[in-house]
Every structure is written in structure tokens, then in C-alpha cells.
Structure 1
Amino acid sequence: MALHPLVRRIGGFAAVPFVGAITPLLLLPVIARVTSVEGWAAVALGQSVGAVAMIVVTFGWNLSGPSRTAQADDDGRRALYREALASRLAAFVVVLPVEAVVAAFLAPEGFRTVAVLMALAVSATGLSPAWYAIGSGQARTLLIYDALPRVAAAVVGAPLLVLGAPLVTYPILLLAASLGTTAVHARKTLGPPSVPGARRAMRTVADRATLRILVPDAASEIASGSYSAGAVALVGLGTGVRELAVFAAGDRLFRLSLYAISSLCNALQGWVAEPVDRATSRHRFRTSLTLHSTVGVVGALLIVGAGPWASGVVFGADLAVDLPTAAGFAVAFLMISLETSVGRHYLIPRGYRRTYLAAVTSAVVVGVPALVGFAHLAGAPGGAWAVAAAEGTICLVVLAAAITVARRALELEPAR
């Protein structure tokens, strides 16, 4: 019996995040066991700083890029990709020295080089064509040019670390894989690089109409990243190395669990944004919200039930999280799943980018001080519940905005 097209679409995009999710499980337990607590903390801090920098590098294309790609023809898609590559390369050059200084400042003594290289490697993944593959419905491209490079770096790096290679081996491999695959995909999609083509792309990016789209999207992504991707770094400002290491272990498993949400979001984002009649659009959003709600509840229960055990198995007993920490991450998971559907599948496709920016900005106001303050008061559990408070803030704001938008649309509809 033939599978429903939506089921095939979700299955194809779910496979890619699954590959990305299991990759750290090949490597992070090795890192946790071949180095000291300080070394593990340096890797985690580098990943956290790099993740924030990566969001700057993406320059908002992950937010509305898939929707814009889904609505464009082949020529329009190539033009979008050319603009995106130009803007993201410029952002990467600008952010590189900043993230290096921040990672070196936060890292434990003796592990600064590891933290800096880890930050650079993670930020380079922001050049990935993942958003383009999502918008054009190309799960295979997402696998080849986004997930497999990370798998290759982990598969090669893990045995080398076990055999005694220095800790910097893994970030160097990841950096090379990210830059290499980005270059290959760009050449395949756009042809050989040319100076006139690059100049045209930069002029388009600098155009005022383009900036009106990109700047709010980039601001939204950067704002949310300042507390979510940067959570480990912020907790490090409020607590000691031991509590930071435990929080980092829990946060790493939590971030891995978010692949379930991102895979569903990726599968549905282009589908929901396709130009269809109003009734079909509503049906597709309701489907999105139902699926995301189910994933959110099931995932939250799994985090509470299996989180302490799983963290002990993966990272060792010294880095196992307790139940209060797991519960905080569980609530955050549910909130993220709900706001992902409402924000990315309802507000963004309808042009409410500034509303979404307001939502994530409000979460920054809550999340940044909470991560430092709660961690200072309660260690790892405090950090987890600070993440839940920030994500809950986003969820409440986008739900309120979506209800307002829906009511306004109903009022404008002609009477039947």
C-alpha cells in the first residue's frame, strides 16, 4: 500500500535529524571519558559559544528561507541561495574573531585552544544549505551536505581520541568537513565562483527591501540564540565548574532531543507555506499543531522518565542529571514544540516576522538573567528551569499573537 505523501515527507526529513542526533552519541561519551571535567567543560563552552555565533552566521535564513524557497521557481531559488551564501559568509568573517575571544575568556585554564576551535567549528555549520534543502523538499541534500559531514567528523574523531590524539582533533575535523561540504554544494548549485556574481549577490543583500526581510529574521534568531544556544556559557557565569559540567551534560541530551521537533518542523515547513487556498492552509496548520503537540507531550514524559538514567549511561555517573533538572528540560521541550508550530508554521508564513521577533526578545529578557541567577542559586536544576521559563515566555507570546491574527482574519472574511 502506498504511503500518504505527508507521511513520506515526514519520514524522509526525520531520518536526517536522526543521523544528526546519534552522531554526538558516538563522540561525546568518548570526550567525557578521555579528558578531565575541565576538558569536558571547555568542549561544552566552545559548543555553546559557537552555537550562538552559528545563529549570527545563518543571518535569519533558517527562519524564513524555507518558506521563501518553497514559494519560488528554480531561478528564484538559485537567486535566494546566492544571496544567502553572500550574506552568511560576510557574517562568518565578522563573528569569527568575536567568538574566539569569548570562548578563550570563558574556557578553563589549559583548554582555551580547544574551546576556541570548537566554537569556530560549530559556527561554520551555519553555512550549511540545510534551509535551502528544507524549502525545496530535498531530504537527500539535507542528509549529504548537513548531517553526513558531522557524522564523518565524529566517526573519524572518536577512535583517534581513544588512541590518544589531542582533544583539538575533533573540532579541526568538524571545521574542515563543514567548510568543504559548503564549498562543494555552492559550486554544484551556482557553478564556479565569479566576482561579478558575488557583487550582484551583495548588492541584492544590501537592498533595502531585502534587508526588511533579513534583519528581523536575523534579530529573532540571534535573540533566541543568546539564551538557548548560549545557555551553557551563561550558566558558567553563575555557578562552578562541577555544576556547569552536569548542566552541560543535561543540556546536550536536551539539545539532542530537540531533533525530534526540528525534523517535524523541517518536514512541514515547506508544506505549510505552499501557496494553497485558505481552507487547505488552515487544515495544514491544524495538522502541524496536532503533531507538534503530540511530540511535545511524549518527549517531555521521556525526558523526565529516562533523562537521569540516560545521562548517567552516556556521560558517566559523575555527570548524571537529577530529576529536578530533567523536569526543567522536559517543560522546555514541550514549550519549544508548541511555539515552533505556531511561530514557524503560522506567524512567519503570514508575514508576522516582527511579532515573532518580539516573542523571542521577551524570552531574552527572562532567559538571560534567569540562567545566570537561577544557576547561582540552584546549580544545574536552576539552569534547566531558567531554560523552561524562557521557552515558556516565547510560547505564551506567540500563542497570544496567533489568536489575535486568527480573530482578525475571521473578521475580515466575507459573510456566507
Structure 2
Amino acid sequence: MIGYSISMVLLAVVSLAVIPSMVTASGAAAWGMIAAGQSIGGVGAVVVAYGWGLSGPASVARADAQMRLTAYAESVTCKLLIIVPIGLLVFSVAWSVGRDYAIFAGVGALSTATVGLTANWWFVGLAQPYRLLVFETIPRVLGTGIGIFYMTHGSSALVGVLWQLIGMVAAFVASTVWILRPWKLRRLRSLPRRQVGAVLASQRQGVTSTVLSSIYSSTPIVIVSLIAPGAQPVYAVVEKVQRQVIVGLGPFVTILQGWVPRASERELARRVRTGLTAAVVFAVALVGFMLAIAPELVWWLGGGQIKPSFLTLLLMSLVTGVSLIEAVVSKACLAALHRLDVVTRATAIGSLVGLPCVAVGAALWGAEGALCGIFAGLLLRLVLELVGMRRAIASRSGGALDVTMDPEIGVGGS
């Protein structure tokens, strides 16, 4: 927990510290376009990552050394092929909306899209937080830090974004060199690898789930802005709090992503239930804690001008708690059981139900109604995943896993 938390805190600190430097260097308008480009690039990053963040930890946790190398080599090949067209696409889209600061928006989008190259799923699956810190986090922090240095000494914000891009690429290169050991290429060439098309097809469940989740999390604020603009400030603040809490709890989910799949077949069901129990207990405590601190936190973030009702704060806390449980069920439990198809279906159904509920709720009851819609869709998604998890455990109770290529996540079939 400490190891993963160090990485999270370092990245959060430099991400916040770079904002005032960019504003000072090139002005608020330039920073606004960089932020717009980063939003566009964030969608590209989900595509470039192509589901390995969801399926990867479980696959490497259960594989032997050779299969781990094969899995990572396949991921590198696919991501390098994907990053070129996606990078050009997000750069072009951001350039088109950037107007006078088109280059700022374009480079911002490209820099954020490269986040999808990350190898953090590998270190998570093997429970190696300090190698994650060394090979992934430190290069990114150094890149951003150097950018801040140059911007405070007269360079434009574009230089800062370019250094962020350099830091992300450096992290990818450092991680890849460490994992694949290029000086042992003969060994790597001797390992069997699938065709790129087969690898991309095997990841379809993971990438579909992550894309749908990204859409479900980012669309409600747009709906509220269009349907109930008067409720948008309140909703924006509580959504910001909810998202930051979930990001802060990332190490908890990360640990379970690596711990649950490493169990033997005999122990897997027990670890799945233990992980779920821990998530429920933690989520209940989290809801109570958020209700206690949310009024002051929202007041501070809103500059003392935004005062949501108790029901709004309660719904925000419940959404956060259910989100934590769902993250553990999908990323740790169902991924370990090789049932990402359940996650994809549940995410799709939850989104199809939840987003219309958000629109209707926002029109009728403002921020409270929108949060009710989000909660309904998220709860439906969690229930469907729990049902699928129970069936998966029951179906595997009489069988044994072997470490072979699996059509859903790459390694570890039944």
C-alpha cells in the first residue's frame, strides 16, 4: 500500500504543480487549450492501453516467466501499432479546436495519449510497487519537473507539455528495457507469439469495458450542463470530489489486482470472496468518512459559494462506495476468473440504463437527480457483475486452471 501510494502521491503533486507554471508561462488561454487537448488525449490513452490495465495484472500474476515475457512483448507490438494512428487522430482533433493555440492543444492531446503506453499493469500483476516507482513514476515525475524548471525560467507552456511527453515515453522505454531485457533477444525470439490480429481480438473485452467505463464517467457532466445548467456548478464540485477520492483509493484496488489472481485454483474462490469482503467493509467505512468531511471539503473547493444539500452529499458518498466495490469486482475478481465478458456486458447494460436516468433525473431534480441516475446505473452494473462472479466460481469449482493462452485475457485458461 505504501509503495503504490508513493507513486500516486508523486504523480498527483507534479500534475497539480505544473498547472500554475503553465498559466504563468503562456497565459490562461493557452493553458485552457492544453487542458482541452489533454481531455481529447485521455480518450486516446484508453484506446492505446487497449484493455491491458484491466486484464493485464491477472494474466501476468498467473503466468510463468516465459508467458509473462510473451504477453508483454505482444502488448508492446500492439500498442506501438495503435499509438501512431491514434496519436495522429487526437493531435488533429485537438488542433482543430485549439484555434489560436492549436499547437498547444495538439501536443497536449498527444502527450496524454502516450499514457496508454504504460506498463504499470505488469508491475501491479507481480506486486512490484517499487519497481513501478523506479521505472514508471520517476521518469514521468522528472519529465514534468524539468518542464516546470524551464517554464519558470522563461520558456513557454509548450515546452512543459513536451517534457511531459518525453517523461512518459522515457517511462515506457525504461519499463520495456527492464522487462524484456533486450540483451537476451535470442531467448525472446524463441518464445511463441500470436499474430497481432489474434492479440487484439483477445483484448476486445478489456478495451470495450474500459472505453464504456470512460464514457459513463465523463458523459454525465455534459448531460447536466445541457439539460440543467443551473445545477452544473454543484454537480461539477461533487463529481470532482468523488473522482479524486476514487483516484486516491487506487492503491487499494491495485493490491487486490495482483493478490487475487496469484492464488492457486483451490484458493482462488476464497481469495475472490476475501477481496470482495474487504472492498465492502472498506466502502461502508468510506461512505461514513465522506459524509463527515464532505461539507467542509465541498465548501472549500467551491470557494464558499456552493452548498449542496445533505441528499446530494449522501448520493455522492454512495456512488463513491459502490464505485470502489465495482472496481474490485471487475478488475480483481472477474479478471482473475477470466470473465471479462461479464464486465463488458454489465458495463454496457449499466450505461444504457444509467445515462438516460441521468438525463431524466437532471431535468426533474437537478444535481440530485443526476446522481440518482448515476447510482442506479452503477448499482445495476455491480449486481450483474456479482451474479456473473458467482456463476463463474460455481462453474470452476470442479475444474482446474492451467497456464495456457486464454482467448479473453491472453494467459491462464480453463
TM-score calculated relative to the size of structure 1: 0.77
Is residue 253–residue 328 contact of structure 2 (8 Å, CA) maintained in 1? yes
Matching residue of 2:85: 94
Partner-residue secondary structure (3-state), 1:228:
helix
| Residues in 1 aligned to 2:360 and 2:367: alpha-carbon distance in whole angstroms | 11
> 1:114: how far off?
4.0
Map residues 55-66 of structure 1 onto 2, 5 A cutoff: 55-66=46-57
Is residue 87–residue 202 contact of structure 1 (8 Å, CA) maintained in 2? no
Matching residue of 2:73: 82
> 1:358: how far off?
0.3
Is residue 49–residue 229 contact of structure 1 (8 Å, CA) maintained in 2? no
Q: Select 1:221's aligned residue among 210, 217, 220.
A: 210
> 1:381: how far off?
6.0
Matching residue of 1:348: 335
| Residues in 2 aligned to 1:150 and 1:184: alpha-carbon distance in whole angstroms | 11
Matched, 1:173 2:160: no
Structure 1 101/196 Cα, relative in aligned 2: closer, same or farther at 3 Å? farther
Cα deviation 1:219-274 (Å, max 9, x = unaligned): 2222212222566666666676x976775565444333223442112112222112
Structure 1 86/62 Cα, relative in aligned 2: closer, same or farther at 3 Å? same
Is residue 296–residue 335 contact of structure 1 (8 Å, CA) maintained in 2? yes
| Residues in 2 aligned to 1:78 and 1:23: alpha-carbon distance in whole angstroms | 32
Structure 1 395/44 Cα, relative in aligned 2: closer, same or farther at 3 Å? farther
Matched, 1:317 2:303: yes
Structure 1 321/214 Cα, relative in aligned 2: closer, same or farther at 3 Å? farther
Matching residue of 2:380: 393
Structure 1 48/261 Cα, relative in aligned 2: closer, same or farther at 3 Å? same
Is residue 87–residue 205 contact of structure 1 (8 Å, CA) maintained in 2? no
TM-score calculated relative to the size of structure 2: 0.78
Map residues 15-414 of structure 1 onto 2, 5 A cutoff: 15-27=6-18, 42=33, 44-103=35-94, 112-157=102-147, 166-192=156-182, 204-206=194-196, 208=198, 210-228=199-217, 250-278=238-266, 280-307=267-294, 309-310=296-297, 313=300, 317=303, 322-323=308-309, 326-369=313-356, 386-407=373-394
Structure 1: unaligned runs, 5 residues or longer: 1-9
Matching residue of 1:5: none
Partner-residue secondary structure (3-state), 1:143:
helix
Structure 1 319/385 Cα, relative in aligned 2: closer, same or farther at 3 Å? farther
Q: State the number of aligned residues.
A: 398
Is residue 249–residue 321 contact of structure 1 (8 Å, CA) maintained in 2? no
Structure 1 308/40 Cα, relative in aligned 2: closer, same or farther at 3 Å? farther
Structure 1 374/357 Cα, relative in aligned 2: closer, same or farther at 3 Å? same
Aligned-residue Cα RMSD (Å) equals 4.2
Matching residue of 1:7: none
Structure 2: unaligned runs, 5 residues or longer: 400-414
| Residues in 2 aligned to 1:370 and 1:149: alpha-carbon distance in whole angstroms | 42
Aligned-partner residue type, residue 220 of structure 1? S
Cα deviation 1:160-185 (Å, max 9, x = unaligned): 66777644454333212101221222
Judge which range, 16-25 or 318-327, deviates more: 318-327
| Residues in 2 aligned to 1:34 and 1:372: alpha-carbon distance in whole angstroms | 40
| Residues in 2 aligned to 1:134 and 1:213: alpha-carbon distance in whole angstroms | 20
Is residue 60–residue 218 contact of structure 1 (8 Å, CA) maintained in 2? yes
Is residue 249–residue 319 contact of structure 1 (8 Å, CA) maintained in 2? no
Judge which range, 98-107 or 398-407, deviates more: 98-107
| Residues in 2 aligned to 1:402 and 1:86: alpha-carbon distance in whole angstroms | 32
> 1:382: how far off?
6.1
Structure 1 350/163 Cα, relative in aligned 2: closer, same or farther at 3 Å? same
> 1:390: how far off?
3.8
Cα deviation 1:43-95 (Å, max 9, x = unaligned): 55444332222111111111111111112222221211111111112222222
Partner-residue secondary structure (3-state), 2:165:
helix
Is residue 27–residue 154 contact of structure 1 (8 Å, CA) maintained in 2? yes
> 1:356: how far off?
1.2
